[in-house]
Amino acid sequence: MAKLAQTSVKYLIKAKFKASGYVERPDVIGAIFGQTEGLLGPDLDLRELQRTGRMGRIEVDITYDKGKSEGTITIPTSLDVAETVLIAAALETIERIGPCNANIKVVYVEDLRTVKRKYIVDRAKELLQQVLAQLPEPSQITEDLMQSVRANEITEYRGLPAGPAVVESDKIIVVEGRADVINLLKHGIRNVIALEGTSVPQTIIDLSKEKEVTVLLDGDRGGDLILKELLQKADIDYVARAPRGKEVEELTRKELYKCLREAVPVEGIGGQQGTQYLSEVKGSFTADGIDKKRENTQKFNEKEQTLSVGVREERKHTKPKHIRTGEKKEEDQSSMEKKNISIRMEKIEETHPEIKDIFKRELEDLVGTRAASIFNEKLEFIGRVPLKELEKALTQVENARAVVVDADITDEILRAASKGISILVGREVKTKRKSSITVLGQNDLE
């Protein structure tokens, strides 16, 4: 008997049978051929259909349970649908299989072309999605083109890989290698130059004396070592670091600009403790020229006291701010009369509006730093520390009475600021813990 090629199968007949006794596969096939012979005429004789290849091999699966037999019958055909269903209906006329009474029931007649069509449609959808995913948006094409052009802008300055704006710009970014320069150029930052090694070239040292320098280093131990050497040999102004475990050359545009915005000022920081501080604390500066985020923030030049927790304390160029009242006080080297009062920090409701203004301005200056500013009883600025160092810092500082934090005031922060503090100011009050400390949110300062 001929076997029907799978490529020509159109329909599949699926039937189930039950027999009252023990039967085998030849018994089932014999019953199908014997009891349907001549039933549908010579054109639909099963033996003739198999011989001519219009019906495929009959598959039979049998299981036995308690002396009875049951199973499935599968018949593939290449006939048209009308002829196929006639054969399927003829199977149900079979009453005996071998020596046993039997019953056959057709489960379904399946159009295999429908299955193939469904597969074709589903697969076509997948392929279409792949094609569409490969097609860039018009804006992306432009951006890719610009990035390619920018990457080709890399030049050399005294033998070091650099961007074309290094010479004319009065602010530059120093990175570790050539790949870092290319990445910055791709994202539109052109005032960049590379160290090209772990040692600091004389070119970088000379540039640091002439220009404002921001170093952007990898977030690994190599970056830590380079930073230490730069702090010793060059006049660096700001330090930015890639996220821990990442390199500058693999940063995305968003990550790159975020790192540069969070650069840390170097002034007043030195030694091993200063290096540790720079690797942990984040400041606020912008990229592409490294313009200062807050031009109105005054630099500190007096370093009279250093907290033992490894954080610098800065004093402002101007004399400490005082709260104005009707009482006048002579200031050294100044003809301007200042007003000064001693405030009772325990009763904020009795203080003057100027006090809230000081807290409000300091809260604005702290945006993005995740730091805390400490003031004494006369609201003179003492120093700024990372939030995680606040509790330890307060044990080291005398006369600390007020703290402003770049965070919401939670139970944890309230506990950390409980060392002798009378006023705690934050963005939003999110604690219900009872305390003798006066807790103020940003809304309370309006």
Is it the case that residue 73 has pLDDT exceeding 50?
A: yes
**Range of weakest confidence among 252-261, 405-414, 430-439:** 430-439
Q: Are residues 87 and 202 in the same domain?
A: no
Residues 43-69: tens digit of each pLDDT: 898 988 988 888 989 999 999 998 899
Same-domain pairing of 336 and 249: no
β-strand partners of 269: none
- How far apart are the C-alpha atoms of 348 and 33, rounded to whole Å? 104
Mean pLDDT confidence for 299-313: 32
Please give the single-letter amino acid code of residue 376: N
* Domain of residue 106, CATH code: 3.30.70
302 located within any domain: no
Least confident of 110-124, 128-142, 417-431: 128-142
Same domain for 289 and 176: yes
What band does 340 get if pLDDT is binned at 50, 70 and 90? very low
Asked if pLDDT for residue 274 goes beyond 80, the answer is: no
153 and 101 in a common domain? no
**Euclidean distance between CA atoms 381 and 301, whole angstroms:** 13
Same domain, 181 and 288: yes
- Write out the two tokens for 142: 């432009």
Among residues 98, 116, 134, which one ends one of the domains?
Answer: 116
Provide the percentage of residues in the chain whose pLDDT is more than 70.
75
Does residue 43 or residue 369 have the better pLDDT? 43
Q: Residue 144: which pLDDT band, with cuts at 50, 70 and 90?
A: low
Distance, CA of 401 to CA of 419 (rounded, Å): 9
**Alpha-carbon distance 362 to 399, whole Å?**
19
- Structural domain count, the chain: 3
Q: Which of 246-250, 300-304, 361-365 has the lowest mean pLDDT?
A: 300-304
Alpha-carbon span 366 to 97, nearest angstrom: 91
pLDDT tens-digit profile of 206-217? 999 999 999 999
Q: Is residue 289 very low, low, confident or very high in pLDDT (cuts 50, 70, 90)?
A: very low
Given a cut of 70, whether residue 408 has pLDDT beyond it is yes
Answer yes or no: is pLDDT of 351 > 80: no
Q: What is the pLDDT of residue 24?
A: 92
CB 403 within 8 A of CB 384: no
CATH at 376: 3.40.140
Q: What is the arithmetic mean of pLDDT over 405-430?
A: 86
320 and 401 inside one domain = yes
State mean pLDDT over 409-427. Answer: 85
Q: What is the pLDDT of residue 268?
A: 43
Task: Answer yes or no: do 267 and 394 share one domain.
Answer: no
Buried b (16+ CB within 10 A) or exposed e, 365-403: bbeebbbbbbbbebbebbbbbbbebbbbbbebbeebbbb
345 band by pLDDT with thresholds 50, 70 and 90 = very low
208: in domain: yes
pLDDT band at 352 (very low <50, low <70, confident <90, very high): low
Check whether residue 156 and residue 247 sit in a common domain: yes
Q: Binning pLDDT at 50, 70 and 90, where does residue 140 land?
A: low
Residue 304, in any domain of the structure:
no
Q: Which of 97, 116, 135 is the last residue of a domain?
A: 116
Task: Output 210 or 318, whichever has higher pLDDT.
Answer: 210
Compute the Cα dihedral for 115, 116, 117, 122 and give only its sign. positive
| pLDDT for residue 148 | 63
User: Is the residue at 350 inside a domain?
Assistant: yes
For residue 293, the model assigns a pLDDT of: 34
Among 125-129, 150-154, 338-342, 353-357, the least confident range = 338-342
Residue 204 has pLDDT above 90, yes or no: yes
On the question of pLDDT at 146 being above 70, the answer is: no
Structure tokens at 362: 């300091």
Q: Which two tokens stand for residue 117?
A: 């069509």
Judged against a pLDDT cut of 50, whether residue 128 lies above it is answered with yes
> Of the candidates 59, 68, 67, 69, which has an alpha carbon nearest to the alpha carbon of residue 12?
59
Query: Is the same domain home to 285 and 154?
Result: yes
273 and 149 in a single domain? The answer is yes
Distance CA 249, CA 419 (A): 44
Residue 382 sits in the same domain as residue 258: no
In angstroms, the CA 424 to CA 390 distance is: 12
Mean pLDDT of the chain: 77
> What does the alpha-carbon distance between residue 340 and residue 335 come to, in Å, rounded to a whole number?
15
Instruction: Tell me, yes or no, whether 121 lies in a domain.
Output: no
**Between these two residues, 89 and 153, which has the higher pLDDT value?**
89
Q: What is the pTM of this model?
A: 0.35
User: Is 201 inside any structural domain?
Assistant: yes
Q: Does position 387 have pLDDT exceeding 50, yes or no?
A: yes
- 365 lies in some domain: yes
Domain boundaries, position 405: 315-445
Closest Cα to residue 154, out of 163, 145, 167?
A: 163
In a domain, 122, yes or no: no
Residue 221's CATH number: 3.40.1360.10
- pLDDT surpassing 60 at residue 432: yes
Same domain, 149 and 243: yes
Question: Residue 31's pLDDT band (boundaries 50, 70, 90)?
Answer: very high
- At 145 the pLDDT is 66
Bridge partner list, 242: none
- Segment 192-207 shows an average pLDDT of 90
